Structure formats: C-alpha cells, structure tokens
Chain A
C-alpha cells in the first residue's frame, strides 16, 4: 500500500512524516519539500512524477540518506535515518539502499564486474562469494557475456543494466531510481523498465522511481505526483491493492 496523507499504519517499509527541505541560494530561500508525508509498503513499485524542479531528486536523495532534510523524519524498516550520524548513515546506505542513476555513474576505469562488485566490498563476503553474487546479478540483467567490458565498451542501455546489477547485488532493502531511462532511447528504456518490473514482480523488490516518461510510470504499481512540495496520488494510485 502507498499513502501520502500521513495516516499509514505502523508497518509500512518507508514512512515519511512532515518532511521539509529548504535550499538557500544566495539570499533566496527555496522551499522544495513542504511537510511531505509518504508511506510505502515493502514490495511496492512507485513512480514519482512532477514538473522539473519540483523536488523529485531532492526527495529521492533524502530517502536514500545522501542528503539531510531541514525538518521531518524518514523511517525505513523501523530505522529512523534522519537522526543518524554521518558514518552511521554511510553504513546504513551500504546495507539498505540500491541507487540507480540517470547517468548510470559507473566507474569508467573499472570493468562491469568490478563495478557490480563494489557494494560487496563493504560486506564480509569472501572473494568467491562475491564472484557468485556478481555473476548472479549480471545474469539477471542478461549481461553475463559483458562481465569484463569497461563501461565505454557498452551501450547506454547496457550500462544502465550494469548500474541496476550494482544496485541489487548486495540485496538492499529498496531501490531508488532517479530517471533511470532519462538518457536512453525507447528500446533500451523498455528493456530497463522490463527489468525493473521483473525485479518488482518476481523478486519482490521495493522500487521508488522518479521519471518524466509516462510510459515508464505506467510500469509502476502506483504513480505519485510531486507538486508545490507535497505528494498527491496519481491515476494509478492504489492499483496494486
């Protein structure tokens, strides 16, 4: 279930209450998020839409613990992350968040294999176990034959699939995807979206995705609109129920 009215029951995976984010740009204050509420249950696939500059990336960054809110709380799997110190937050990200970026953000000097292995370097897994996990993730994104290619030797769609493999390899609590298809042509975008759908349907992954593309949003269980600092339910909201 996904709710934006702040009345979710206590057992949602992600619970956001009164989230405020202000940016200071010179003397001007930009109030991007204004007392935003959100409840997302485990296994949901949510799409966030909204005009450019409405604060979608800001919201995702706050949920992923790479930025701090001005006010309000974010609780993920009963951990309130808005009170964690810098290093605790870093550890929390390693354990719970899989990021998928619009620009893929693969490390250019590392092979696909090494890129996907990165999150596992933060775990206690042995080298052999890491290899197994990487191979599984690469098989899931259908790039087993591109394991030792460097990012520049891959197409945009392939790069993004490596990016998704990297995001899921350590089995995080949820995936945060900021315009994962924003830089891709239709065909590659569809492949990536199908992949996300598979992850949601067959593997029960919780996915929060920002997109401008209505076709991309259609793949989600639920579309939320961000406007004027708060979320509203879109036409597909609640479809997953």
Chain B
C-alpha cells in the first residue's frame, strides 16, 4: 500500500507559495492552449455551418475559391437541367452568384473593413433554407436593394435596416436583415446578382459560382457526374459543406499550429516551474523521504507519491486554466478570411473535448515536471539524508 495521499495534499498546502507559482504557470499555459484551439474551432464551425449537405457549389475547374472562378450563363442553363437538382414551382433551385468586396466603417473602431457582397439569384433563400429574413424583407429583383447578415448589421455603421449606402458607384437601400445561423453568410451582404453586375460594370452573363439545391444529399454524385462528363463544361463540383470545410482549413491550421507553438513554449516554461517546485519540495523533504525509506517504503512508492503531487499541481492548474477561459465560449470575434479577403465574424467554441484536451495537456506537463524530481526523491541516500539537520 502507498503513502497516504493526504501526505502530498497537505505538503502542497504547507508549501503553498511555491505550489501557487507552479499552478499558475500551468493554468496560464492551459488557458492559452484552450483559447487558441477554441478560436480555430469557432472559425471552422462558422465556415462549415455555411455549407449544406443538400447543396452543390459549382466553380470553374481548378479555381480554389469563388473569387477566382468564372461560370457562364450557358453553363448555368445546363446545370439547371442537370439531374439531381431540386425544383419548386418557380423552376430549378439554382443560384448563380457573383462576389465583390466592399469596404464599410466598423462601429467599434470607425475604420473600414472589407465585407463580402454576394450577388445572388432571387431564389437564394430557397436554395439556402437555413438563411432566414429576421427583419424587413428580401430584396426585389432588379432593384438596388440590399439584405445584410446579422453580424454586418451589428458591426458596421450605415448598414442598418432602412439605411442608404453608396458603394461600387451605386446607391443602395438596406431592406432586410437575415440570420444565417452563425455561418459565414452572417458576415455578408446580399443583393441581386444582375444589379451588382450592372453597378460594377461586369459582363452580365458571367458568374463566379453556382449553388444548386439537390433533391437529396445522395443526388450529388448524379449531378456531379452529369456535369463533369459534359464536354461543354469545365467545372468543379463540390458538396457545399465540404467546400467551406476546405476553405476554413488554411486558417484553422494556421491558428492551431500557432496556438500549439505558443502553448508548447509556455508549456516548457510551466514544466520548468513544476520541476523547480518539485525539486525544492524533494530537497526540503529529504529527511522525511529518508525516514519513510528507512521505515520500509520502496523507491517505487516514493516515485509515485511525488509524481502524484506534481500531477495534483498540474490538474489544479489545468482546471483553473479551463475555468479562466470558459467565459470566452460564444464570445464573438472577427478575423480576415484570407480566402475572400473580407472580414468574418465568428465565436470562440469551447467544447468538452477541448477542455479534456486542456486537462490532458496539463497532465502531460505535470508528468514531465514531476518525474525527474520524483526519481531524485527515490534515489535519496537514506543514511546521508538522516545525518542532515
């Protein structure tokens, strides 16, 4: 049987100043680690929410994003007739779209930020049923009218319902606000694609992407095969959800890698903090250790006992770190979406699995910081240590 755990817990309390230093080091590291990953997850979740499994997005073959794609009106017609496309009484549910970037002043800082303006078909709401008008109404086809995502309405000045704004050489009126369920569309402005083309003096029958609603998620293969085997088409077809997942990957990876690097560097510091605390605990208690060894406790038991103590420090630190960052959950922040060069609002997402990862990380630091001092404790030379006063 082992040395009572109360021995370690009370020792930690007795040496609380040293304990607190090590605990805070680990808490800070775990906090940063969890916050960074929550940021990456939030970004990823926002973009992925933009896509639907029921939708297919069609772009020119080889284009990595909508921005550099082009699809002609003739091609759109072929898509409308392709198998697997859902229809309602207005015909096939297909939205050919164009995208431009426009700068608007942020309410918070007064400085301009880029907003993605998406020219869509009047059928856009049927193609994307998750997008709902929550205030005002949808734009009328052929008019200089805008509907704005709820993050846009909240973050930019001059883009509230009823406001009139000038951009791209045209005068626009905000007639509605939509809620896209926390997706990237919430950071977009939508208008009639034909009107946007006119205002920006773009060729009328060239679009950047086409989003088609499918009869079912399974219809994608059918739809895709029809388009890719058609010699008149040179297009890539993606399930919309996968397209946004891919889009989010670069930044998600960047945040994750950066976050992990920062956490690793802080982690090394925290490990040294734990090492320092535990080494001094071992040397301060060499007499106690020698006494227990003399009584007959084996070196393995001593290692476990001190390792347990280090792990306690780590777990307390890990728990504190998680608790500190928990209020960040759901907090909205924004970043430049490098795929579209526009501002994207998203929220930190702290999930249970992320908290578990934080605790596991703290455990790892505790083990790395605890093993060497614990081994030293077990190597205490009994007769020597007992001579010391």
**B-contacting residues of A (Cβ < 8 Å)?**
57-58, 61, 64, 66-67, 86-87, 90-91, 93-95, 97, 99, 101, 103, 105, 107-110, 114, 118-119, 121-122, 166
Contacts and interface: CB of A to CB of B under 8 A. Distances in A.
Interface in B353-389: 382-383, 386-387, 389
Contacts of A99: 291, 294-295
Given A66-B383, A101-B291, A103-B389, A122 B297 contact: yes
Contact of B10 (A93, A97, A103, A109): A109
A155 B388 CA distance: 22
A101 B11 CA distance: 22
Residue in B4, B293, B299 with the greatest tally of chain A CB atoms within 10 Å: B4
B343 interface: no
Q: Interface residues of B toward A: which range? A: 20 to 34
A110 B294 contact: no
A48 B107 CA distance: 88
B4 A110 contact: yes
Contact of B295 (A58, A61, A93, A110): A93
Contacts of A91: 296, 298
The 9 tightest CB contacts between A and B, nearest first, are A94-B296, A109-B10, A67-B383, A66-B382, A105-B291, A121-B1, A93-B296, A61-B383, A90-B298
B331 interface: no
B387 to A, nearest CB: 7
A90 B292 CA distance: 10
Interface of B: 1-4, 6-7, 10-11, 14, 287-288, 290-299, 382-383, 386-387, 389
A86 B378 CA distance: 12
A107 B296 contact: no
Contacts of B4: 110, 114, 121
A131 to B, nearest CB: 14
A122 to B, nearest CB: 5
Nearest to A86: B299
A67 B298 contact: no
Given A57-B387, A93-B294, 19 more contacts: A67-B383, A90-B297, A90-B299, A93-B295, A94-B296, A94-B297, A97-B294, A99-B291, A103-B389, A105-B386, A108-B14, A114-B4, A114-B6, A114-B7, A118-B3, A119-B296, A121-B1, A121-B4, A122-B1
A99 B291 CA distance: 9
A109 B296 contact: no
A118 B295 contact: yes
Nearest to A99: B294
B378 to A, nearest CB: 11
5 contacts: A87-B298, A87-B299, A94-B297, A105-B287, A109-B10
Contacts of B290: 66
Nearest to A176: B294
A166 B294 CA distance: 12
A93 B298 CA distance: 10
Contact of B386 (A87, A101, A114, A166): A101
B7 A109 contact: yes
A119 B10 CA distance: 19
B276 to A, nearest CB: 21
A94 B298 CA distance: 10
Nearest to B13: A109
